[in-house]
Amino acid sequence: MAASRFNVVVVGAGPRGTSTLERLLARLDEATGPGGTGPGERPWRLGITVVEPCEPGPGHVWAPGQPRYYLMNTPALFPTVAPPRGSGDGPGLTFEEFRTSGGDGAALDDTEKAELAALSTDGFPGRALYGTYLRHVFSTVAARLRGHPAVASLDIVRGEATAIRREANGYRITVDGTGNDAGNDGGARQLLAEAVVLAVGHVPAYPNPQQRVAGERATAVGLHYQGPNVPADVDWGAYPAGEAVLVRGLGLNFFDALTALTVGRGGEFTATGSGPGHALEYRASGEEPRLHAASRRGAPYRAKPCIDTYLPRSVSLRHLGFDAVHELAAAGAPGEPAGKVGFNAHIWPLLHRDVLRTYYATLVRVSPESFEDPSAFLDELDDVLDAPHVHGQEVWRTVARELVERAAPGAHWLDVPALGHPFADRGFVGHDAYQAAVLEYLEQDAASSARGEDDPLKMAIGALNAGRGIVKRFVAEGLLDDASRLEELARWFEPLVEGLASGPPLQRIEELAALARAGVVRFIGPDPVFSLDEEAGHFSASSPWVQDEPVTARYMFEAMMPANRVAQSASPLLEQLQADGLARPRLMSTSEGEEVYGSGFDVVGEPYRMVDGTGIAHRGIFVLGLQLSSVQWGTAIAAEAGAGFQDGARTLGDADAVATELVRMAARD
């Protein structure tokens, strides 16, 4: 009997698409016998087509050809697109395994070999080097799939999928492209498939109204305005040497821009031999512009601590746990719909306790002289924190603070939410005063990171980060109601934890401090106001907390990625899917009952099936990655090597669920 063919199109071959193929290979190995016959099933074979406009594996963001100075913001031990090779689940290969094996047999050039050899487990890889890892995983998996008895074919079409439409037995995918891996001509192609996996990753987005108006007005008066973009895609050569440039945003993209406009212009950082915070000196090339930067919080993201694990070894959460929150949801949390909990009311009080306990336990260990009786203090603190949490009762914080003030004369109360606004309610007379304050903040943060496990603040942030991982699981399990996600998690907690725990390596903070001392970078102030004076022909920026003249410039850029909102997407494919009613953003309800669009697609089930405009789930369209942001949190973060599919490696779990379902569908259709 002839084998039945089941056709699958994977749209996007960056990290998520690569994980899909790796998981598909694992599930095919598990499910098929000789000749590709599933146990007890009729013969079947998969036809797989991968659609990707860039190089398969690295995709767009991780292109191996980008400048070597762009760094990842996670250490080598963390990221992966596959389970560990030793786990026995599929072919597997984490980046750390790629590093320690010297490239796992990949063809590396001299630069890549040198970078791998110099990289440590707690070092931060270049994005280009991570792209080389992705290329290797993709090519290895693709070769094995092509030789697999259950795979009829694997084709790679180099192009952009621009439309998906229903067909009688599946879907028709339109691809505008440059050809395929066999060298065929480019141009529009039509692909037919019973199933489609959307793994498109970062896509362009239309500017928000503020950005759109800024761009239009700037163009009209001959100014240069750069909206949000992937850093490697920006024309950094557009900013003349010595010219003032306004920068909105002090997050991760800011550090990329900073590097491109300094090291990328021939500048050099040299070691001073001094301690943390003063470890580097900047030698200018003379080709740098003068950068004036600002953000709402007024300070850049904090550096990650210098440790050789992802979460600090000394961090252990004793209050926020899965069992406690699941039991609360099952019993009906006060003020919440059945089966739901609120972040502010039920989750944050538990995590807040863990953050405080971690901070003071570390402080007792490294600075016992700060306490009248260190052991007694911790016992008394635990009595306060271990008292049962009662919804609506927040007196425990006052009791804990009074304890610190009474029994820890050498310590201070850790105001955790205030960490997100280090200059809140502080006024500065003149730009120089604010510049000095930010430089002091950077130097202290560098010293704090260098202390690693011995720094109370970084360990408290480590507890916050550990809690974030648990909260991400609660979100994916649907335990938080919409209003809590929109008005609590997204409004204040996400910016707080991002700014504290998602920052760059220590190296970048040392570099920024050196650039600030050299006068290459100046800081404008918190809550900045950016404007455009058409008559004067310049942008201007000022802060209500800094008493001085506004900073003016003819150049400005937004140091941020394009918005991850499907309703704002400028991707032809995502626009077409919504315009034709094949997809819709997920509607979410505020606390006042108003329905608003979430950032991601409406999806159901596990694996996540796309829901069309009428509310009906597609049988054969699956969604992975960034466009799941309405039902998950932190979808841009890579999978954590060695973590469980329901926890830090949820992106692998999502890909695995899709692969499992594809094999099941192929065996039945």
For 193-223, write each residue's pLDDT tens digit. 999 999 999 999 999 999 999 999 999 999 9
* CA atoms of 451 and 464, how far apart (whole Å): 18
The DSSP result for 284-333, as a single string, is: --S---EEEEE-SSSSPPPPPP--SSSS-TT---SSS-HHHHHHHHHH--
Residues 612 and 646 in one domain: yes
pLDDT mean over 602-606: 96
For 257-308, write each residue's pLDDT tens digit. 999 999 999 999 999 999 999 999 999 999 999 999 999 999 999 999 999 9
Residues 6+ apart with CB under 8 A from 655: 16, 19, 20, 22, 23, 624
Q: Is the pLDDT of residue 569 over 70?
A: yes
Assess if residue 417 is contained within a domain.
Answer: yes
Q: In 3D, which of 217, 255, 240 has the Cα closest to residue 286?
A: 240
What local confidence, expressed as pLDDT, does residue 184 receive? 47
For 77-116, write each residue's pLDDT tens digit. 999 999 999 777 889 999 999 999 999 999 999 999 999 9
Assess if residue 167 is contained within a domain.
Answer: yes
Task: Tell me the β-bridge partners of 478.
Answer: none
Residues 331 and 389 in one domain: yes
Residues 37 and 54 in one domain: yes
What local confidence, expressed as pLDDT, does residue 635 receive? 92
User: How far apart, in Å, are the Cα atoms of 340 and each of 329, 392, 473, 478, 601?
Assistant: 5, 16, 13, 8, 21
β 546-547/555-558 pair status: unpaired
278 in Cβ contact with 509 (< 8 Å): no
Assess if residue 439 is contained within a domain.
Answer: no
**pLDDT tier for residue 312 given thresholds of 50, 70 and 90:** very high
State the sign of the Cα–Cα–Cα–Cα dihedral 403, 404, 407, 409.
negative
**pLDDT tier for residue 33 given thresholds of 50, 70 and 90:** low
- Domain count within the chain: 3
Domain residues for 243? 209-262+285-298+527-540+553-558
Q: Is the pLDDT of residue 149 over 50?
A: yes
For 337-388, write each residue's pLDDT tens digit. 888 999 999 999 999 999 999 999 999 999 999 999 999 999 999 999 998 8
Residues 198 and 215 in one domain: no
What local confidence, expressed as pLDDT, does residue 518 receive? 97
pLDDT mean over 236-246: 98
Task: Tell me the β-bridge partners of 183.
Answer: none
What local confidence, expressed as pLDDT, does residue 35 receive? 45
Alpha-helical (H) ranges within 519-642 are 572-579
Assess if residue 275 is contained within a domain.
Answer: no
What local confidence, expressed as pLDDT, does residue 183 receive? 44
Residues 641 and 590 in one domain: yes
CA angle, corner 541, sides to 537 and 545, nearest 5? 155
**pLDDT tier for residue 186 given thresholds of 50, 70 and 90:** low
Q: In 3D, which of 502, 452, 419 has the Cα closest to residue 305?
A: 452
Q: Is the pLDDT of residue 646 over 60?
A: yes
Residues 230 and 151 in one domain: no
Q: Is the pLDDT of residue 38 over 80?
A: no
The structure's pTM equals: 0.95
Q: Is the pLDDT of residue 579 over 60?
A: yes
Coil, strand or helix at 662: helix
Tell me the two tokens of residue 186: 């480019």
Assess if residue 545 is contained within a domain.
Answer: no
Residues 155 and 24 in one domain: yes
**pLDDT tier for residue 34 given thresholds of 50, 70 and 90:** very low
Assess if residue 392 is contained within a domain.
Answer: yes
Residues 247 and 348 in one domain: no
What local confidence, expressed as pLDDT, does residue 90 receive? 82
Residues 165 and 28 in one domain: yes
Assess if residue 330 is contained within a domain.
Answer: yes
Assess if residue 484 is contained within a domain.
Answer: yes
Residues 41 and 168 in one domain: yes
Residues 163 and 27 in one domain: yes
* 379 CB-contact burial (10 Å; exposed 0-12 / middle 13-18 / buried 19+): exposed
What local confidence, expressed as pLDDT, does residue 324 receive? 86
Residues 400 and 472 in one domain: yes
Coil, strand or helix at 434: helix
Cis preceding linkage at 607, omega within 30: yes
Percent of the chain at pLDDT exceeding 90: 89
